[in-house]
Structure 1
Amino acid sequence: MRIKWFSFVRIAGLLAVLSYHFFSNAYSGGFIGVDIFFTFSGFLITALMIDEFAKSRQFKLIKFYQRRFNRIVPPLLLSILVVIPFTYFVSPDYITGLGKQVAAAIGFTTNYFEIATGGSYESKFIPHLFVHTWSLAVEMHFYILWGLVVALIAKRLRHSQLSQGEALKTFRVRLSMLSMIVIIISVSVMGLRSFGLTDYSAVYFSSLTHCFPFFVGALTATLTGIQSIPRRFMKQLKHAKPLTTVIEISGAFIILGVLGYVMTFDSHFTYLGGLLLASVISAFAIVKARTLHQVTPNIDEPKWATFIADISYSMYLYHWPLFVIFSQMTSVFWAVILTVAIGVPCSAISYYIIEPILAGKHPHAIKKVNTLPKVKSLMLLVTIVLLGVTGYTIYQAPNLTSLEQRLWTGSLYQARDNLNTTKDVVAASIKQQKLAKENKKAATIPKGVSVIGDSVTLGTRDYLQKNVADSTVDAAGERTMDLAYQVMMRAQSNKILRQNVVICIGTNALAGSQEQLNKLVHDLAPGHRLIIVTPYDRRADDTWNSSKLADFERSLPQKYDYVTVADWQKKAQKHPEVFEGTDGVHFAGRHAGDVIYAETINEGLQTAVKGPVKK
């Protein structure tokens, strides 16, 4: 039984996700589209479970797993095979660790793979092509565990002495109670674990903390349903009015749309109740869609809506990797056009032709029976070719991106050089302290420059040490402001922090970076000058944390006379050629990038030395 108007719930989820990935700056909360999908899946699966139990007083677990496998796995495998040949149009960096990504995707463990590797839609410079399959992992975990639990409940009730009506009522009640318990646990754990975090990826990706939308949908199914409907909800259906229902469901979609604009990935509110709110509103929309089906018996759902809903799952699979690839080749506008132009036909072929064939059915899209063998032969040939391309691509995929290789090499050289430099600085510091003690004067601070930076600084470290006079460089990939603070304080306590301290942090700016920088400024010992290098990210607009941090940094010299800003953001914007073909943050070891980065720091130092040190 196909429920009319459910298609619009699927479409709402798909549009939210696509808008978020295509235009994340403009639609920062579109990730709630995943929660719309989760809620709908929980509702639909649980409602079908109840319908099956109502008919036969049992729930066939193996057949349930088979249906889920046939619906989820073939489109996933097909999307991987189709997407991988497109990777030859971009840098090999985009297939780094491809084998692990594919294994995680088809093993439905992408969410924990991303947690383990520090993955995030928000912060990765080279995003994983299949990071979006984290949601499939959570969904599959739900299907496996919920299916098992429901089968056990159904088995116990099947052999009970209860009448069919009483057994069905008990079945609903138990599923309802379990759903409520899981919702409370999942929401509570997400909220508690979110406290103190600056990167929320771990609580976002986790199956435990992000499973509650499924159970919001499941709870809704126990109270309403599809074919087997409780009396209370049946009464509501009888009294429902088409116009009122249309207004209510439209209001729900409008609220979801507004949430997509106001919510952000790095907001604590998102994890303290924002996602739950989106799930509850989605459940309301689902109920109203079910109601609208009942009160519009003579109105058909638009064919275009049915089509989009049918291909929504496959389109979700295709859109992310295709967009990542095409956005490296052209503008966002054309990347979106290409993604849709390729993703929609592939999704339609998958749903209307390939999936039915693999399920042993004759596709309705193929009218002539004698055409089917030719289609199967073509499918086999294309599959063999794509398997060969995929296998070869995975085999020769690098384990590290070119940037990671440079940073790893730079880290080794830094460790060697810092060891020798630290010995010299410590020796000089001890000598100065000894002389100061003998002369009964305060120990002097080591002269020179201490540069503390992130991966951008690490990538140009050798050039900096040669072209920033009397400097030491301590840089590391993915270093955040709080980590930079720790590095500075450790050097300060060991008496090796030089007089002029250069902080090149901010590309990895997370919520709380401004507070951490304030703490760094406050705890810097007297006798030092602070030079802050603003972060640059070509992708960022004014709403990004790195941009907000840069604006905040520019205000500090007005408050503190010992603080100077070296504006790398403005300098880099004047040299777009340095970032061509890169992630827009690192300049790929280009000498021109090394030169202007060092110039920026030296200009900041020249201004700083004319001013006072901290009193």
Structure 2
Amino acid sequence: MKLSYRTPASLRPDSETRDSRRFSGLDGLRGIAVSVVLVFHFFPQVLPGGFVGVDVFFVISGFLITGLLVDEYARSRRISLRRFWSRRVRRLVPPLVPLVLLCCTVAWMLGGDVLVGLGWQVLGAVTFGYNWVSIAGSASYFSATSPELFRNLWSLAVEEQFYLVWPFALLAVLLIRSARIRLAVVCTFGLLSLLWMGFLFHPGSDPTRVYYGSDTHSFGLFAGAALALLLRHPNGLGAPTRNANAGAARTGPAGFTRFASRLASPARLRPWLGLAALLGIGAAAAWLPAAGPLAYRGGLAAISLLSCVVIWAAVRGARFGRWLDTPVLRWIGERSYGIYLWHWPLFVLAGVAWPAAGVEVHLLVAAVAVLVAAASYRWLEQPVRRRGLRGGIRSLSGFATESWSRLAVVGVAAMVGLILVGGTTAAVVVAPAETSAQARITSGRHMLEAAQADRKREDAERKSDPTAAPAPVAPGDLISAVGDSVMLASAPELEDRFPGILIDAAVSRGMRAAPDILAAQAAAGTLRPVVVVGLGTNGPITTDELLAIEAAIGPDRKLVLVTAFADRDWTAGVNEALVGFAAHHRLVGIAGWHDAIAPHTDVLAGDNIHPGPTGGRIYADCIASALDWLAPQHPLHGRDPYRLGQDPVVLRPVS
């Protein structure tokens, strides 16, 4: 986020003039960061780690805000909280209001899943508490089942909560006379946040809590704050003194001053160190997994440190700063706040309006986001920042020279505002309780709970009456199925097609969970002769995981692997691994869900992943086809579970 204030003299690069108001290179770095985030959201397969762009913003914000506060304290030995928070409100709120009103109104006009939870999202947006509202509502940053309209506002909430608390903490830190201890205290704050993230993160679970939390994800802000304290000459932070030498003595040991001086000295190496750090950030954007332990146990902290190196090289070295501040990157960086605000809601709304949107629509949405952000920057953000709210409003109507024309402008603006407020209110009022995908998942969960209750009741009745006739044998009695939310949404149709099937399915489950589940069933004696596994939706898989599944079920059971269908960057790799594994193992077949549903996405729920009733029947048909394909090649002794008395859809394993 761009903040304009007079740069403290001790932080200016040598080539900077005394009236400069902008740190060299930071606008360009903002431009890079927001571009990386846009690519991550629009084309995740290109930059699967592009979420690191937000952490670059955190470091920039911590650096600039701390420098602003330190500069004020060095001048007046006080920090005006009222003036500080007023500047933050002027900077952040004006573009946020039209974003919320306009996008909510459009969502109301479109209807459907995009309205789910909209009231809580608006509450999180206007209170700058979106991250905690999402955590309380068990929302997932990494889920595609719910198209959250304002999901990107979580990072704005983290920054605003930091702005609310940090001035008080910094004031206490600045009372410490030793510059070295001041720096150590701020670094300790960041280290505690980092360690807390690593402690709360559990591999295999959804990491949204540790990613959204302002307690777990503030280390980047503290890293930027520490850099600001390190680069600023410590003389200006101590008590007033008569000369520089006395100030240095009272502020901290001379060794710290020499260290800060040495940090700025390698002028020739600075650009190359900055470039190397920038390349490191780019490598992370290309390869760092979003849900893996590497990101939350050191990866994001490394991004923060690399960002500090880039900022240091830019503000201390004019050449590297000029490299970053190319005209295009600087232009994007100055408007990065608006681009970040608008790109995600527009992306979500476009996905609702055009469910089968391709690359062309995504590029168009990105262009519209940039144009809207540019207009907001020119006619809303800049006037309000320079003249305040009232002055900004007057400047917007300044082109109207006559009083009647100004009145007309005000009238039209008021009418548009009332329409948008009405549309937003209507959107919140008519919002459904859950998405179509969630409704299907809930239906499947209720069916499984009812089936489990029926089995327990029948077992209890047979135990109480030993003379009772045995329960009739159903075709599905020989099948155990373990799956994710796609299987859970298809549970009613699976039960209808294979009466008596034993289904264990859960939301957000990955392949790594299957071996333990199947081993537990085998140990309990409940694992059946045929095992169906549908766990490719939520992440990449490995051959070792498939081998572990095969070992868990034993050598005599048949295994059916269901291919995955989802707009995820790992889907193709998952399906290749499944097909390749089946080709080299005699008792393994493939249920081709991906190829069967691809021409019929209209029968999926709004997230384009989970099946509706018709899609659930296609899912069951795929499994029936795989069983039919396995039957003549690998018959069981005695009863044949594959011939179910129906003619399944002819589907062969995907090739």
Q: What secondary structure sits across from 1:131 in the alignment?
A: coil
Q: CA deviation at 1:22?
A: 1.3
Go from structure 1 to structure 2 and tell me whether the alpha carbon gap of 1:88 and 1:337 turns closer, same or farther (over 3 Å shift).
farther
**Deviation string for 1:242-277 (max 9, x for gaps)?**
x86555544433332222112121232222222122
The whole-number CA distance in structure 1 between the counterparts of 2:65 and 2:36 is: 22
Equivalent AA in structure 2 for residue 607 of structure 1: W
The whole-number CA distance in structure 1 between the counterparts of 2:265 and 2:73 is: 27
Aligned to 1:276: 301
Q: Is the 8 A contact 2:477 2:501 kept in 1?
A: no
The answer to whether the aligner puts 1:604 opposite 2:626 as a matched pair is yes
Of 170, 178, 181, which residue of structure 1 is paired with 2:185? 178
Q: Is the 8 A contact 1:94 1:129 kept in 2?
A: yes
The answer to whether the aligner puts 1:530 opposite 2:559 as a matched pair is yes
The answer to whether the aligner puts 1:395 opposite 2:429 as a matched pair is yes
Of 491, 504, 509, which residue of structure 1 is paired with 2:534? 504
Of 368, 372, 384, which residue of structure 2 is paired with 1:342? 368
Aligned to 1:202: 209
Of 572, 577, 583, which residue of structure 1 is paired with 2:607? 583
Go from structure 1 to structure 2 and tell me whether the alpha carbon gap of 1:563 and 1:303 turns closer, same or farther (over 3 Å shift).
closer
The whole-number CA distance in structure 1 between the counterparts of 2:166 and 2:269 is: 35
The whole-number CA distance in structure 1 between the counterparts of 2:105 and 2:434 is: 20
Q: CA deviation at 1:38?
A: 0.2
Q: CA deviation at 1:350?
A: 2.8
Equivalent AA in structure 1 for residue 217 of structure 2: H
Stretch deviating more after TM superposition (353-362 or 12-21):
353-362
**Deviation string for 1:449-500 (max 9, x for gaps)?**
2333333233333332232365354544444446656665665555444332
Go from structure 1 to structure 2 and tell me whether the alpha carbon gap of 1:391 and 1:293 turns closer, same or farther (over 3 Å shift).
farther
Q: CA deviation at 1:222?
A: 0.7
Q: Within 5 Å, which residues of 2 pair with 1:71-82?
A: 71-82=91-102
Q: CA deviation at 1:375?
A: 5.8
**Deviation string for 1:424-457 (max 9, x for gaps)?**
478789999x99xxxxxxxxx9953233333323
Aligned to 2:251: none
- Report the TM-score when normalising by structure 1: 0.82
Equivalent AA in structure 2 for residue 606 of structure 1: D
The answer to whether the aligner puts 1:191 opposite 2:215 as a matched pair is no
The answer to whether the aligner puts 1:216 opposite 2:241 as a matched pair is no
The answer to whether the aligner puts 1:43 opposite 2:63 as a matched pair is yes
Percent identity over the alignment is 28
The whole-number CA distance in structure 2 between the counterparts of 1:556 and 1:547 is: 14
Q: Is the 8 A contact 2:560 2:591 kept in 1?
A: yes
Q: CA deviation at 1:90?
A: 4.6
The whole-number CA distance in structure 1 between the counterparts of 2:559 and 2:287 is: 36
Q: CA deviation at 1:37?
A: 0.3
Q: Within 5 Å, which residues of 2 pair with 1:482-501?
A: 488=518, 492=522, 495-501=525-531
The answer to whether the aligner puts 1:540 opposite 2:568 as a matched pair is yes
Q: CA deviation at 1:74?
A: 2.7
Structure 2 unmatched ranges of 5 or more: 1-5, 7-20, 238-247, 249-256, 470-474, 638-655
Structure 1 unmatched ranges of 5 or more: 158-166, 436-444
Q: Is the 8 A contact 1:480 1:506 kept in 2?
A: yes
The answer to whether the aligner puts 1:309 opposite 2:333 as a matched pair is yes
Stretch deviating more after TM superposition (488-497 or 135-144):
488-497
The whole-number CA distance in structure 1 between the counterparts of 2:629 and 2:309 is: 60
Go from structure 1 to structure 2 and tell me whether the alpha carbon gap of 1:364 and 1:113 turns closer, same or farther (over 3 Å shift).
same
Aligned to 1:160: none
The whole-number CA distance in structure 2 between the counterparts of 1:295 and 1:320 is: 31
Stretch deviating more after TM superposition (4-13 or 355-364):
355-364
Q: What secondary structure sits across from 1:125 in the alignment?
A: coil
The whole-number CA distance in structure 2 between the counterparts of 1:147 and 1:370 is: 42
Q: Is the 8 A contact 1:578 1:587 kept in 2?
A: no
Go from structure 1 to structure 2 and tell me whether the alpha carbon gap of 1:41 and 1:585 turns closer, same or farther (over 3 Å shift).
same
Q: CA deviation at 1:285?
A: 1.5
Of 454, 468, 479, which residue of structure 1 is paired with 2:484? 454
Q: Is the 8 A contact 2:436 2:605 kept in 1?
A: no
**Deviation string for 1:188-232 (max 9, x for gaps)?**
222333354443332222222211111111111011149979976
Q: Is the 8 A contact 2:101 2:421 kept in 1?
A: yes
The whole-number CA distance in structure 1 between the counterparts of 2:541 and 2:107 is: 36
Q: Within 5 Å, which residues of 2 pair with 1:47-86?
A: 47-86=67-106
Stretch deviating more after TM superposition (384-393 or 100-109):
100-109
User: What RMSD, in angstroms, separates the aligned Cα atoms of the two structures?
Assistant: 4.0
Equivalent AA in structure 2 for residue 532 of structure 1: L
**Deviation string for 1:559-613 (max 9, x for gaps)?**
654433323233334x244457742322333x2x344322211122223444266
Q: What secondary structure sits across from 1:451 in the alignment?
A: strand
Equivalent AA in structure 2 for residue 30 of structure 1: G
**Deviation string for 1:368-388 (max 9, x for gaps)?**
476687765554433222111
The whole-number CA distance in structure 2 between the counterparts of 1:301 and 1:561 is: 60
Give the total of aligned pairs.
583
The whole-number CA distance in structure 2 between the counterparts of 1:53 and 1:323 is: 42
Of 4, 8, 32, which residue of structure 2 is paired with 1:12? 32
The whole-number CA distance in structure 2 between the counterparts of 1:530 and 1:426 is: 31
The whole-number CA distance in structure 1 between the counterparts of 2:536 and 2:212 is: 24
Q: Within 5 Å, which residues of 2 pair with 1:100-499?
A: 100-153=120-173, 157=175, 170=177, 172-173=179-180, 175-194=182-201, 196-225=203-232, 246-293=271-318, 304-328=328-352, 329=354, 331-355=357-381, 356-357=383-384, 359-362=389-392, 368=398, 378-424=412-458, 447-468=477-498, 471-481=501-511, 488=518, 492=522, 495-499=525-529
Q: Is the 8 A contact 2:125 2:153 kept in 1?
A: yes
Q: What secondary structure sits across from 1:530 in the alignment?
A: strand
- Report the TM-score when normalising by structure 2: 0.78
Q: CA deviation at 1:234?
A: 8.8
Stretch deviating more after TM superposition (394-403 or 484-493):
484-493
Q: Is the 8 A contact 2:273 2:313 kept in 1?
A: yes
The whole-number CA distance in structure 1 between the counterparts of 2:450 and 2:608 is: 29
The whole-number CA distance in structure 2 between the counterparts of 1:296 and 1:600 is: 58
Q: Is the 8 A contact 2:30 2:336 kept in 1?
A: yes
The whole-number CA distance in structure 1 between the counterparts of 2:308 and 2:279 is: 14
